[in-house]
Amino acid sequence: MLRARVAIPVVVVILAIVAIVAFVATRGGTTMKPQAAASPSTATATPTAKLDTPTAVVLSGLQNSSVGLQAGGNYMTGTLGLVAQPAPPTVPPGSVYAVGPYPLYTAQLADGPGKELVLGYCQTCHSVTYITMQPPLPANTWAAEVNKMIQTYGAVIPDDAAKQIIAYLQSHYTPETRK
C-alpha cells in the first residue's frame, strides 16, 4: 500500500517546514506521512539533505522511514470534554455541614406543541432530563408513565393537559419519532 518516495531534496524539506508551520498555525496539527517502503536500504538512502540546523535534523529524523511516526501534533478546537472547574468552597466554623447548590444541567426538549406544559407540570418534581435520558419508548409506555405520575405519585395535572403532555412525548420520544 505504501507508495515509493525515495529521495527528498533539501528544498522540499524546507518547503515542508514552511508548509507544516503554516498548517499548524491555521489548523493546529499535522500528520507524519509514511515514507517509502520500509526496507533498510531505502531508509539509509533517504537522508541526502544537509542537516545543519536542529529543526532540520528533527524533521528529517521524524520523516525517516525507519521511525514509524504517522501522526502528531493533532489538536482540535471546541469545548468537547471540558467541564468548568468550580472554585473551592470556603468552610465556616460551627456545627453545620454544608455543601453548595447542586447544579442543574437540564437538557433541551424537542420543540413542539405541549412542550410548555411538560416544562410546567413535569418539572414540579423532576427536571426534564428524566425524559431525554430515556431510550425511545413505545407510545403506550409514555402514556403509562404520565398516568403513573398522576395516579401513583399524585401529580396534579388536569386531564386536558395530561393528554397534551402524552401527545407531546409520543410525538418526539418514541422509536418512530425520536431524533
Partner 1 sequence: MAEKHERLGWLGRGIQRRRFLQGAGILAATGALSGLLEAAAAQETGPVQEPIPSFTGPGPNPYWNSVSPYAVYPQKVPLLRLTDRPVQLETPRHYFLTPLTPNAAFFVRYHLDVIPNAVDLSTWRLHVEGNVENPLALSLPELLKLEATKLVAVNQCSGNSRSRFQPRVAGGQWGNGAMGCAEWLGVRLRTLLDMAKPKSGTVQIQFQGLDSGKGPEGKGSHAFLKSLDLTDPVIDQCLVAYAMNGEPLPMLNGFPVRLIVPGKFATYWVKHLTWIRALTQEDSNFWMASAYKIPDTPNGSTTPDAVAAGTVKMVPIGKVNMPVRSFIIVPDGTVPLVAGVPTEVRGIAFSGSGRVVKVEVSTDDGKTWVTAQLGDDLGPYAFRTWSWTWTPEQPGQYTLAVRATDEKGNTQTDEGVWNPGGYLWNKIERQPVTVLQNH
Which residue, 63 or 164, has its beta carbon nearer to partner 1? 63
Contact present, 170 and 131 (Cβ < 8 Å): no
Which residue, 87 or 160, has its beta carbon nearer to partner 1? 87
CA of residue 136 relative to chain centroid, distance: 22
Residue 26 φ/ψ region, left for φ over 0, alpha for ψ in the -120 to 50 degree band, beta for the rest: alpha
- 62 binding partner 1? (CB under 8 A): no
Choose the binding region for partner 1 from 49-57, 77-85, 109-117, 162-170 (rule: CB under 8 A). Answer: 77-85
Choose the binding region for partner 1 from 15-23, 41-49, 113-121, 157-165 (rule: CB under 8 A). Answer: 15-23
Residue with cell 537522508: 47
CA of residue 20 relative to chain centroid, distance: 26
Could you tell me the maximum CA-CA distance found in the chain, to the nearest angstrom? 84
Which residues are near partner 1 by CB under 8 A? 1-2, 5, 12, 15-16, 18-20, 22-23, 26-33, 70-71, 73-74, 76, 80-81, 83-86, 89, 95-107, 124-127, 129-130, 132-137, 141, 145, 152-155, 175, 178
